[in-house]
Structure 1
Amino acid sequence: MKLHADLPLASSIIAYGDGWLQLPQERLEHSLLLSGEGWHQPWDCPRFDALQQAHLQALADAALQHQAQVVLLGSGARTRFPATAWLRPFITQQLGLEVMDTAAACRTFNILVGEGRRVLAGLILERSAESI
């Protein structure tokens, strides 16, 4: 699905699909952490079922490093919530976490970047069984 008709911001998500995401300069086919400033790094969480507390700790640490106002978790093809106990890094660091499916997280990320908000997203890019 294409997200923009206008020229994209350097940090915006141009398009996304089954197991992939297009940034202005690069197509990615792995889960990632992505900031509104354009920084990104691979996130070793290929599907929601593989999500562990350490993944959420890495997301919280990156949010603090990038001084994020909003933290998004794109949970894959559908909205799924992590175990409550794993949210401790967000609670202790007073960070809010918005959980939604990855497609919604991509759209929300672009809206927040367009508003000039400091946002960080953990996006799980999993492939559907049909595309494997």
Structure 2
Amino acid sequence: MKLHPDASNAYSIQSYGAEGVVVNGKLQTGPIKLCAIQGPQTWSAASFADLTQDTFDELLAFRPELVIFGSGQRLRFPSPKLLQGLIRQGIGVETMDSGAACRTFNVLAGEGRHVVLAYLPLNEA
């Protein structure tokens, strides 16, 4: 799906699909963590089954106000104990399927919010 964000200096997602996510014109494949200010990076969460508290704690370095977790093709919620590091720091976490997560990330980043996307690919089983 192609997305058309408003003009902004933040990183944004132009499209997403089974092949990956296009961020500021560059295709990103596999799991990524995307900060609106710092851009995309590889996320160590290889799949939903591999999620740990450490994979979510990686996001603390961005000091976000909100983490949007894209759980893949369908909506799946991580165990609350995996989110404890974020919760203890007062960081909000919203879970949605990865398509909805991409769209929500663009809206919030375009508003200037300090948001981080933790994205599992659409083809993640």
Matches within 5 A, 1:1-132: 1-4=1-4, 11-59=11-59, 61-64=60-63, 68-127=64-123
Deviating beyond 4 angstroms after TM superposition, the runs of 4 or more aligned structure 1 residues are: 5-10
* Contact 1:47/1:126 (8 A) holds in 2: no
- The 1:2/1:43 distance shift into structure 2, 3 A limit, reads same
TM-score w.r.t. the length of structure 2 is: 0.88
- Structure whose residues are more often strand by fraction: 2
Aligned length: 125
- The 1:121/1:17 distance shift into structure 2, 3 A limit, reads same
Q: Matched residues in 1 for 2:21 and 2:27: separation?
A: 6
RMSD: 2.0
Q: Residue deviations 1:14-40, cap 9 Å, x none? A: 000014000123101111111111422
- State the percentage of identical aligned residues: 38
